[in-house]
Amino acid sequence: MINHSPVPLPDEAQLDLTDFLEHLQNLLVENTDIREFLEDLAEMTARKLTTSANTVACGVTVIRRKKPVAVADSDLLARRLDDIQNSFGDGPCLTALRTRRITHVPDIRHEVRWPDYMKAAARTSVGSILALPMELNSTAEAVVNLYSTRAHGFGEEDLLTARRVTATGAKALHLALKIAQLKDARENLAAALDSRAAIDTAIGIIMAQNRCSRDNAFQILVDASSHRNIKLRAVAEGVIAQIAGDQCITAVFDE
């Protein structure tokens, strides 16, 4: 089958995602680590799409430093298939990631695309594959990889369900990435303020000891940092430790 182009989700689709949304909201509150969030998301997606007649595994692959990395999975089958595909550097999931289109493999035994990967996949219990790129509205790139143990395990209704679940998960992931970015920015700011506090304190000490100007005191710190090949903050903390008798000095900046 050819790749499916993204189309608007029909409003009349009868799929209750209330519980899925509630779980995702709880994950956002409880998880600050993106990898843990994606692990939970993969497990929830697999449970949402699995039925008594069709077992579905789920993996999540992201682009990291221009290379695909399998970062989350619902079970060993998804992990194995994601890792095999990434080792070949090509396959339905990576194609979906590159083209930003849903990619469907109804029956791996009769799939002519990606022959090397299909030969390896045939040695597992997978029967069909469905890959859905996540629309994150950011520089991040991710794809949800669904593996059914049955051939033709994803019908039209399953495709609709998978698209809605993936779209819902993508919105939650986008928000999780924003939260993580804000947290990193806050931590970086706190670290910068602590560093500035240590440097300012050390400058004051050097000014008092050498009876020199602030500029001269700062240059002394810079020279020491350059000659010892250590960071300016480390030099400043060493100066403070000498005066304080190795006791910790509270930073002058509070959060």
In the prediction, which pLDDT does 113 show?
95
Q: What is the arithmetic mean of pLDDT over 63-85?
A: 86
Query: Does the pLDDT at position 250 exceed 60?
Result: no
Mean pLDDT calculated for residue range 198-214: 86
Q: Quick check: 34 pLDDT over 80? A: no
Domain boundary among 183, 199, 222: 183
Half-sphere exposure of 76 (CA within 13 A, CB side): 2
Query: Cβ(99)–Cβ(3) under 8 Å?
Result: yes
Residue 174: count of CB within 10 angstroms of its CB: 17
User: Is 202 found in the same domain as 122?
Assistant: no
CATH number, residue 204: 1.10.10.10
pLDDT at 241: 84
Q: Which residue has the tokens 């993106």?
A: 34
Q: In terms of domains, do 173 and 206 share one?
A: no
What's the alpha-carbon Rg for the chain, to the nearest Å?
Answer: 26
Comparing 131 with 26, which gets the higher pLDDT?
A: 131
- Pick 26 or 206 by higher pLDDT: 206
Mean pLDDT score, 212-224 = 85
**Six-digit token string for 24:** 């995702």
Domain C-terminal end among 160, 183, 206:
183
- Residues 192 and 67 both lie in one domain: no
The residue-averaged pLDDT of 41-60 equals 89
Residue 97 covered by a domain:
yes
Statement to judge: residues 163 and 190 lie in one domain: no
222 shares its domain with 170? no
Q: Are residues 166 and 210 in the same domain?
A: no
Q: Is residue 10 part of a domain?
A: no
Mean pLDDT for the stretch of residues 151-162: 89
Number of domains in the chain: 2
Ramachandran sector of residue 57 (left: φ over 0; alpha: ψ -120 to 50; beta: rest)? beta
Let me know whether 147 and 239 are in one domain. no
- Can you give the pTM of this predicted structure? 0.60
Asked whether residue 91 falls in the same domain as residue 49, the answer is: yes
| Residue 230 structural domain | 184-244
> Are 97 and 142 found together in one domain?
yes
User: What's the mean per-residue pLDDT of the chain?
Assistant: 78
Quick check: is 7 in a domain? no
